[in-house]
Structure 1
Amino acid sequence: MVDVSADQGPAARTGYRRSAGTPRGEARRRELLERVTEDLATNGLVDFSLRRAARAAGATHKVLLYHFDSADDLLLQAVLRLRDRRIDNAMIAASREPDSRTLASRVRSLWPVLTGEGSRTLDQAIGLAMYDPERYAELGRGASQQYLPSLLALCPEHWDGRRKLEVSEMILAVLRGFLVDHRTSGDTEGITAGFEALIRALEREEAAGP
């Protein structure tokens, strides 16, 4: 699925140093990452390699290994960048929801964003973490670490921390399941029914009071 194994050696053999620490180096690193991220958003993770990333970035693989630890590091950073974009767009959508006072309405507004730009790549990233957890576990762990703070922020302010965390974990797990189903089964009717059940569960949770 992702061919980066052949690209791991050069960094170790030649000792390319990272560019972190200088404004110019950081600016160049961000530029390269943005270009690779755009390629992933458009073309997904299938057949991703350092050479493909170099073509997308308009650079050589040696340049990329100067700015990133390895091909896996570049892949991880690009996936994190895509998730940041999706989270930003989701929070904007939640704030624009006409009835944004309730958690249920906020969560309802997330679905179009979760299945929008870059969703195929991010779903593939979770699949990669499941396929090869020893190598790509951070792709899965990173998802929870990135999404949970935003879900916690959507919960009612008067809830205590434990309740917010429990409900947020439930939302994350259920939506992740729906996204996998959306990508693999195409059962739109079943996903819609399940999503509406989630919304009703959140409405009951809020109605239960503090």
Structure 2
Amino acid sequence: MATSTKRVDGRTLRFQHRRPELLAAATEYVLEHGVTDLSLRPVAQALGITHATLLRHFASKDDLVIAVLDKIRADVTEMLSADEELRAARSTGELLRAFWHRSCEPRQQRRFLVWFEVAGSGARNRALAQSVVDDWLDIIIERLIGDGWPPGDASALATLVLAQVRGLHLDLLVSGDRARVDRALEFSLRLLEPPEHP
């Protein structure tokens, strides 16, 4: 045990309590600048620390991106659990409509930009972006089953609707035409009306 402790850089231990603070600041940097041309030296400079200090907390650019994506994912989960309107949604359609309005706020849209960038980058980061998709699929499938959809249909419908929401976000980011995209979302949410039972 003592031998293992000696291998840890003393400076890393001394500044380990700063990791959450640095991660929050690094996440904000990534949300503002994206990941495509991300480099650790400019991140360190923006955070007001040395490149060496940043490397003590995040061993590489990939390590930093993974930590940032995990934080974004955790932040979205926290938003979902804390938002009264989302929690009060009585159907899948209401849940998605409320989330859509939250996620179209300019500060929230940055998350989608980062996810689109990551999904188009290396395989390792694509797997992280996929985990975000899986999280949402599970939530939507559960709600659809609660609305009366059979599990198999709920899975297929959740996949279709989530793809539409992602596509509409991309459309909005490119076109800026919120009114048109909002109408398209409302049209797609009609698919979520529970099936009629004989």
Unaligned runs of 5+ in 1: 1-15
**1:23-42 to 2 correspondence within 5 Å?**
25=16, 27-42=17-32
Aligned counterpart, 1:94: 86
After TM superposition, give the deviation of residue 136 of structure 1 in Å.
Answer: 3.6
Asked if 1:208 corresponds to 2:196, the answer is: yes
Q: After TM superposition, what 4+ stretches of structure 1 lie above 6 angstroms from structure 2?
A: 16-19
The structure with the largest helix share of the pair is 2
Between 1:138-147 and 1:170-179, the stretch displaced more is 138-147
CA contact (8 A) 1:125 1:139 kept: no
**Structure 2 CA distance for aligned equivalents of residues 202 and 143 of structure 1:** 21
Please give the per-residue CA displacement for 1:26-74, whole angstroms capped at 9, x wherever unaligned: x432222111112233444464321122133332222222222311220
Among candidates 153, 161, 173, match of residue 183 of structure 1: 173
Asked if 1:115 corresponds to 2:104, the answer is: yes
CA contact (8 A) 2:145 2:151 kept: no
After TM superposition, give the deviation of residue 108 of structure 1 in Å.
Answer: 0.9
Please give the per-residue CA displacement for 1:104-163, whole angstroms capped at 9, x wherever unaligned: 111111112222224224324313432x34464234323213333333343343555433
Aligned counterpart, 1:145: 134
Asked if 1:168 corresponds to 2:158, the answer is: yes
TM-score, normalising length from structure 2?
A: 0.75
**Structure 1 CA distance for aligned equivalents of residues 53 and 86 of structure 2:** 39
Length, aligned pairs only? 186
Asked if 1:56 corresponds to 2:41, the answer is: no
Among candidates 66, 69, 93, match of residue 59 of structure 2: 69
Unaligned runs of 5+ in 2: 1-6
Aligned counterpart, 2:3: none
Which residue type is aligned with residue 112 of structure 1? H
Which residue type is aligned with residue 109 of structure 1? A
TM-score, normalising length from structure 1?
A: 0.72
**Structure 1 CA distance for aligned equivalents of residues 132 and 180 of structure 2:** 25
CA contact (8 A) 1:17 1:67 kept: no
Which residue type is aligned with residue 208 of structure 1? E
RMSD, aligned α-carbons:
3.1
**Structure 1 CA distance for aligned equivalents of residues 79 and 71 of structure 2:** 13
Aligned counterpart, 1:10: none
Aligned counterpart, 1:13: none
Percent sequence identity is: 26
Q: Structure 2 vs 1, CA of residues 153 and 57 (structure 1 numbering), >3 Å: closer, same or farther?
A: farther
